[in-house]
Structures are given as structure tokens and as C-alpha cells.
Amino acid sequence: MAADKDVPLWQRMERPAPAPRQTLTAERIAAAAVAVADAEGLDAITMRRLATELGVAPMAAYRHVSGKDELLELMVNHIYADLNLPQDAGWRDTMRAMALGTRDLMLQHLWLAQLSPRTLLSLTPNRMAIAERSLALLEGLGLDADTMMAVIRAVDAYVHGAMNHELALKSLMRDHGWTGGEEVRADLAPQMSWHMATGRYPAFQRYLAAATRKDSLEWQFETGLDYVLDGIATQMPRAT
């Protein structure tokens, strides 16, 4: 029996499994799809390919998902189960761990950056659990409800903005077979040399001469994150 499109995916997942229990589960489907996407990208994900990976009939997965959109939701939910957060930590340490964990997920699963806005905004149980944890940590600190959500989205915006640059750089390097930043800079050297020769960018020229961490992407990410969190902390009505 095909999935009921009129009932939300996660509501269907809460229904008791039919007896005898089916060997094909939503978790198995998600894990197989994530493995294919990690190895070959989102374009490799089709319901027929998934059936082949799972060793089932082509229509079997449709008992759980109505199509690729719901399959992508399952995949997102599956990988966010790996976002481990510290127990009994304050809001700052937990949100820092959340940001670093999200960066790790995006580096492990490059297809996350290719998801449509609809899928990125999907309300999966594991993502809702993270949002719940974030809000619960900010409760009682003197912030109103709107400000709490603004804080969460500010950190999330930093993570995704920083990762857009990092993943674009990694994609460029992968496409050209480059292994380090020196090769990227060598490719950009003619353009950069022209810009610097105009004399219009003295601050950038000083940066190029003085910077020692141009290739330290993890350090850049963590340093920017700490500045964001430090800025938020200064606006907290009560110290934590």
C-alpha cells in the first residue's frame, strides 16, 4: 500500500507497524539513501536506485515515503541524529557545540548544501529536538520569545554563511584536483595581482602580507563563531 500523501510523513511514522513487522523500515531507507548521496551526490538518488540498494521491489519504498521530497526529509532527519550535544552545559557551550557539530555534518554530507529551501525548512523530529533544546537553554535568561528565536537564527545564519564559503572552496578544489590553498591562490594570482596593482585595496593588501591562517578553515570558523557568541552574551539581561 502506497504512502498516504494527505498525512504528514512524521505522523505516518508514529503509526504502529503492521504485523508481521516489515523488514523494510524508514531508518533502513534513510541510511541507504544517505550512503548513496554521500558517495555520488543527490542526483544519484532515485526510488529505483534505492530499491536496488535495499534489495527490494521498486515500489516497496513507497509504503513509507510518497516520493523523493519525503525521502530527503528522512535523510535529513537521519543525519541530524548524529549531532551530539553536551549534557548539563550552559547555553553558550551548547550552542557552540551545536554549531561545530553542524559544520561537521555539512563536511561529511556535502549534499546538504544542495537541498531546496523547502527541504531545508522541513520539520523533522531530530531537527525539532535540536530547536527544542536551544529554546529550553535560553528560557529563564530574561529574553522574550522573539529574541530567543533571533539568537538561535543568528548562530544558524553564521554557520550556514561560513559553510557556504568553505564548501564552495572545497568544491572548486575538488573540481580542479587541487589539494591545498596554495594552488587556489596560484590560480587566482593574475586577478589578485591586477587588483592590488590598482592601489584601491590597501587594507586587503596588508591582510595578504600579514595573514598566517589563510588555510586554517576550522580556526576561521571557530574564531568567527566565538565572536558571534561573545556578542550575544553581552546582550544577555542576566549573566549565565
Per-residue pLDDT of 205-239, as tens digits, reads: 999 999 999 999 999 999 999 999 999 999 998 64
Query: What is the Cα–Cα distance from 49 to 36, expressed in whole angstroms?
Result: 9
Question: Does 109 lie in the same domain as 69?
Answer: no
DSSP H stretches of helix in the chain? 9-13, 26-40, 47-54, 68-80, 91-108, 117-120, 125-138, 145-176, 181-197, 202-210, 217-234
Tell me the three cell numbers of residue 89: 552545559
In this structure, are 227 and 130 located in the same domain? yes
Q: So what's the pLDDT on residue 237?
A: 87
Residue 85 lies in a domain: no
Residue 2: what pLDDT? 57
**According to the model, what pLDDT value does residue 15 have?**
74
Query: Are residue 61 and residue 139 in the same domain, yes or no?
Result: no
> Are 96 and 76 part of one and the same domain?
no
Looking at residue 238, its pLDDT comes to 64
76 and 17 in a common domain: yes
* CB atoms near residue 28 (< 10 Å): 16
Q: Is residue 73 part of a domain?
A: yes
130 and 24 in a common domain: no
* Whole-number pLDDT of residue 17: 60
Nearest in space to 2 (alpha carbons), one of 86, 61, 85, 83: 61
- Shared domain for 120 and 230, answered yes or no, is yes
Does residue 71 belong to any structural domain of this protein? yes
Which of 28, 59, 80 corresponds to the end of one domain? 80
Q: Which three cell numbers stand for residue 91?
A: 547555553
Residue 63's domain comprises 9-80
pLDDT score of 240: 46
Residue 142 contacts residue 237 (beta carbons within 8 Å) = yes
Q: How many domains does the chain have?
A: 2
Q: Which residues of the chain have pLDDT under 50?
A: 19-21, 239-240
Give a yes or no: residue 196 inside a domain.
no
Q: Are residues 115 and 147 in the same domain?
A: yes
Residue 158 in any domain: the answer is yes
Q: Which three cell numbers stand for residue 190?
A: 593574475
Instruction: Give a yes or no: residue 62 inside a domain.
Output: yes
Both 106 and 63 in one domain: the answer is no
CATH number at residue 66: 1.10.10.60
CB 41, CB 32: distance < 8 Å: no
As a whole number of angstroms, the distance between CA 73 and CA 139 comes to 29
What is the pLDDT, as a whole number, of residue 6?
Answer: 73
Quickly list DSSP for 98-121.
HHHHHHHHHHH-GGGGG--HHHHT
Q: Tell me the pTM.
A: 0.86
